[in-house]
Amino acid sequence: MAKLDETLTMLKDLTDAKGVPGNEREVREVMKKYIEPFADEVTTDNLGSLIAKKVGDENGPKIMVAGHLDEVGFMITQIDSKGFLRFQTVGGWWSQVMLAQRVTIVTSQGEVTGVIGSKPPHILPPEARKKPVDIKDMFIDIGASSREEVLEWGVKPGDMVVPHFEFTVMNNEKMLLAKAWDNRIGCAIAIDVLRNLKDASHPNVVYGVGTVQEEVGLRGARTAAAKIQPDIGFGVDVGITGDTPGVSDKEASSKMGEGPQIILYDASMVSHKGLRDFVTDTADEHNIPYQFDAIAGGGTDSGAIHLTANGVPALSITIATRYIHSHAAMLHRDDYENAVKLITEVIKKLDSDTVAKITFD
């Protein structure tokens, strides 16, 4: 592996951490370690979302920058008499990316390695072999010979299961491969925005937030925003990239390395026009590249943030990422760094008058 600089070390620590919805503690502790030096105060809400507060002007507007802590994974639901584990997906999975993949079960006694299995294709009828295996017909094999042995090893129903994959810098060192880019990259962006503002003046109060349970319905963003009561919200997440074989520009036009994505529309929110225009004007002013995208299905934490109280102008800014919701996803370091730069420059300009103008634009 290439030698890791300070940024890559942080990204490795964030993505290697384990945290499916409802089990984000390990990831929260990693994010807290990195964001605390740049915050005036770090708290959590009652669901476990991390909220790091940085005061510029205490009378200025409140700006929320949210990435979610959780990753898609699984939960153990049953243990059969032969020692095989049944599981529930936690977050969205495509069955074709799951079989024969290594997983880690996090128990109260430590970690246990397993592999996702199913009935061998060799004994299936020819027609059945052509179809993807249903998730309900899969199981996790940890090499146990009985239910008693599984329990002896500390595995029990309710335990978290995460994909096993180690952070990797590709031969093209701009390309970064890891599990859980969705959405540890958003957490990293929130950290680095506060880092950039540490010694900078900004006419507002900034909240760098790591939300919980985004993958099961934007739940932590709802409670964190209720606690913060922001005036402006940014959901920072991954987006779809269209630069792999077989994908047309009509289906997905974004390319890795060509800037962060400004989301115009998704299933959870119509982006706020005034805020969108302000962000793109700022990007143009500072020569920061960006791309537009619209996503018919899915949403980000912005969808929950913008419905807080009497409404919050919000925008999703995403990083074009390949192979999300699988064991290994890939993104481009330049897009990450440009997203940090863009959000930092936007925040520096968000004073009370500007926010009032954006809100009613």
**Confidence at residue 298, expressed as pLDDT on a 0 to 100 scale:** 81
User: Does residue 96 surpass a pLDDT of 70?
Assistant: yes
Residue of 24, 71, 214, 258 with catalytic role: 214
Asked if 221 and 301 count as a contact pair (C-beta separation under 8 A), the reply is yes
**Confidence at residue 157, expressed as pLDDT on a 0 to 100 scale:** 98
Per CATH, which fold does 6-71+179-359 belong to?
Answer: Aminopeptidase (3.40.630)
Q: How confident is the model at residue 2 (pLDDT cuts 50, 70, 90)?
A: low
User: Does residue 1 surpass a pLDDT of 80?
Assistant: no
User: Does residue 185 surpass a pLDDT of 60?
Assistant: yes
Asked if 54 and 35 count as a contact pair (C-beta separation under 8 A), the reply is no
| Extents of the domains making up the chain | 6-71+179-359, 73-163
User: Does residue 171 surpass a pLDDT of 80?
Assistant: yes
CA distances from 281 to 67, 149, 234, 344 (A): 23, 61, 16, 14
Q: Could you report how far apart the first and last alpha carbons of the chain are, in Å?
A: 49
Q: Which residues of 2-24 are buried (b: 16+ CB within 10 A; e: fewer)?
A: eeeeebbebbbbbbbbbbbbbbb
**Confidence at residue 295, expressed as pLDDT on a 0 to 100 scale:** 86
pLDDT in tens, 257-307: 999 999 999 999 999 999 999 999 999 999 999 999 998 888 899 999 999
DSSP state, residue 322:
B
**Confidence at residue 125, expressed as pLDDT on a 0 to 100 scale:** 83
Average pLDDT over residues 230-259: 94
Superfamily the domain 73-163 falls into: Peptidase M42, domain 2 (2.40.30.40)
Among residues of the chain, what percentage have pLDDT more than 70?
A: 99
Asked if 192 and 345 count as a contact pair (C-beta separation under 8 A), the reply is no
Average pLDDT over residues 12-17: 98
Asked if 49 and 32 count as a contact pair (C-beta separation under 8 A), the reply is no
Q: How confident is the model at residue 128 (pLDDT cuts 50, 70, 90)?
A: confident
| Residue 71 is a catalytic residue | no
User: Does residue 313 surpass a pLDDT of 60?
Assistant: yes
User: Does residue 309 surpass a pLDDT of 80?
Assistant: yes
Q: How far apart are CA 158 and CA 74, in angstroms?
A: 9
